[in-house]
């Protein structure tokens, strides 16, 4: 088991506690559409606040590439957090500089404040020493409760731990314990389902993952890159053509490891990405040039479900389609409900994670039946791959 200091070891009373959380939640039209990540950090916030700590929340939202971007502001999340916590949550529209310093200086014991998106500064992702210093000057203690961002060696997820006494939050602790318990020694066959849209940031980890699982089901936006690498035309679909070589290497690595790669054989396509857009189901070899794949087709879902029937353990990150918009939720909902049924019947250990994956499982009414639902997607897959996560490693020091 991972050994690091937890809140049991921390003296937070009267201290300014920089608490890294993951508030990168699914949102639509300015409203939070899935609150799971917020719910999961409430115990840590409450514990520090009740012990008299001054809670200064650090978080990112989206990928603003080091520049302020009003569309990726954390401001709309503060009132949601306040409602869920049942106490006021202040907001500072910068995470460093005079605005942040002023709001932090005015805190009294037990107060909670959220600072604006750390990724509005290029120093965050660069883990730049000057930016880390600026953040560190706001706190006396650092607590990391963002397991789902622990695969990033950023200033607020890694750098800060070198500067301040550092501890794991309750969610970080619980996630690692639950993953170790559920997947530390998984019963085989193990099936991994990987979909979603973060193709370039997740494709590399598949290379190692294939050595740890018996089948890798590739769906969602991720599948298009593999289909294209196989010479199949995917029209206007989300696809990273420059990763074709990587995709082919993963298929070879899977062959060598005896892992079966399961790719879609049919797809639901549309010409527009909006609710009610006309859609049709076609074989993957017949995707029209002016259309995009927005969901995995029914024949492919049957193949996925057949693999779930054979499996003893499922690990899942990334929806099989653009589930936020009907009817492109069908494959994700069908596979999620099938996995939930098998889990309820005691036939499958099912572990899923990722901000959007959790939202999709909630939408399908399947989340409660899964053996474990992690807040993490990429971090969870990297953990599964056997990789050391920078945000966890630094807490062990």
Ligand X SMILES: Nc1ncnc2c1ncn2[C@@H]1O[C@H](COP(=O)(O)OP(=O)(O)O)[C@@H](O)[C@H]1O
Ligand Y SMILES: O=C(OP(=O)(O)O)[C@H](O)COP(=O)(O)O
Supply the minimum distance, in Å, between the C-beta of residue 279 and ligand X: 12
Comparison of 53 and 220: residue with beta carbon closer to ligand Y = 220
Sequence-distant (≥ 6) Cβ neighbours of residue 210 within 8 angstroms: 216, 250, 253, 254, 257, 259, 261
Span 216-275, contacts to ligand X by CB under 6 A: 220-221, 238
Residue from 198, 212, 271, 344 carrying the catalytic annotation: 198
CA separation, residue 184 to residues 9, 176, 317, 318, 353 (Å): 26, 10, 17, 21, 16
> SS3 string of 26-66?
CEECCEECCCHHHHHHHHHHHHHHHCCCEEEEECCCCCCCC
66 is catalytic: no
Q: Which of 156, 317, 343, 375 binds ligand X (CB under 6 A)?
A: 317
From 15, 20, 37, 170, active-site residue: 37
Active site residue 355: yes
Task: Please choose which of ligand Y, ligand X, none residue 201 contacts, taking the beta carbon within 5 to 8 angstroms, the exact cut-off set by kind.
Answer: ligand Y
Among 64, 159, 182, 319, binds ligand X (CB under 6 A): 319
Does 330 qualify as catalytic in the annotation?
no
Estimate the share of the chain in helix, then strand, then coil, as percent rounded to the nearest 5.
45, 15, 40
How far apart, in whole angstroms, are the C-alpha atoms of residue 283 and residue 300?
10
Determine if residue 42 is labeled as part of a ligand binding site. no
Instruction: Give CA–CA dist 347/304, Å, rounded.
Output: 16
Query: Closer to ligand X at the Cβ: 195 or 297?
Result: 195
Which among ligand X, ligand Y, none contacts residue 221 (Cβ within 5 to 8 A by kind)?
ligand X
To the query of whether residue 52 is one of the catalytic residues in this protein, the response is no
* Contact call for residue 356 and ligand X (CB under 6 A): yes
Contact 27, 74 (CB under 8 A): no
Give the residue closest to ligand Y by C-beta. 377
Contact (Cβ atoms closer than 8 angstroms) between residue 384 and residue 182: no
User: Footprint of ligand X on this chain (CB under 6 A)?
Assistant: 195-198, 220-221, 238, 293-294, 317-319, 321-324, 354-357, 377
Catalytic residues: 37, 198, 355, 378
């Amino acid at each position: 088991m991972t050994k690091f200091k937890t809140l049991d070891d921390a003296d937070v009373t009267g201290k300014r506690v920089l608490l890294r959380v993951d508030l990168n939640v699914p949102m639509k039209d300015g409203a939070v559409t899935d609150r799971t990540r917020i719910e999961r950090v409430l115990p840590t916030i409450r514990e520090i606040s009740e012990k008299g700590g001054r809670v200064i929340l650090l978080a990112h939202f989206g990928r603003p590439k080091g520049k302020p971007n009003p569309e990726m502001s954390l401001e709309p999340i503060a009132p949601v957090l306040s409602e869920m916590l049942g106490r006021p949550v202040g907001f500072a529209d910068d995470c460093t500089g005079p605005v942040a310093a002023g709001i932090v200086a005015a805190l009294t014991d037990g107060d909670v404040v959220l600072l604006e998106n750390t990724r509005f500064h290029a120093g965050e992702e660069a883990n730049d020493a000057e930016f880390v210093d600026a953040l560190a000057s706001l706190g006396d203690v650092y607590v990391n409760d963002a397991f789902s961002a622990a695969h990033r060696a950023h200033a607020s997820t890694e750098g800060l731990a070198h500067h301040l006494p550092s501890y794991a939050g309750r969610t970080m602790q619980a996630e690692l314990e639950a993953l170790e318990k559920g997947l530390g020694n998984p019963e085989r066959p193990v099936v991994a389902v990987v979909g979603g849209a973060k193709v370039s940031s997740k494709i590399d980890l598949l290379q190692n993952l294939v050595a740890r699982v018996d089948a890798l089901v590739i769906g969602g936006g991720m599948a298009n890159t593999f289909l294209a690498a196989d010479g199949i035309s995917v029209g206007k679909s989300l696809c990273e053509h420059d990763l074709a070589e990587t995709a082919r290497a993963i298929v070879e690595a899977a062959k060598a490891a005896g892992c079966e790669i399961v790719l879609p054989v049919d797809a639901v396509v549309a010409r527009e990405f909006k609710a009610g857009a006309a859609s049709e189901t076609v074989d993957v070899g017949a995707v029209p040039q002016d259309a995009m794949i927005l969901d995995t087709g029914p024949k492919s879902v049957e193949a996925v479900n057949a693999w779930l029937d054979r499996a003893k353990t499922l690990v899942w990150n990334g929806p099989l389609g653009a589930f936020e918009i009907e009817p492109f939720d069908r494959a994700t909902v069908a596979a999620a409900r099938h996995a939930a049924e098998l889990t309820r019947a005691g036939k499958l250990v099912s572990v899923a994670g990722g901000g959007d994956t959790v939202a999709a499982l909630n939408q399908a009414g399947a989340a409660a039946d899964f053996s474990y639902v992690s807040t993490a997607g990429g971090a969870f897959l990297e953990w599964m791959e056997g990789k050391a996560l920078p945000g966890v490693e630094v807490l062990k020091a």
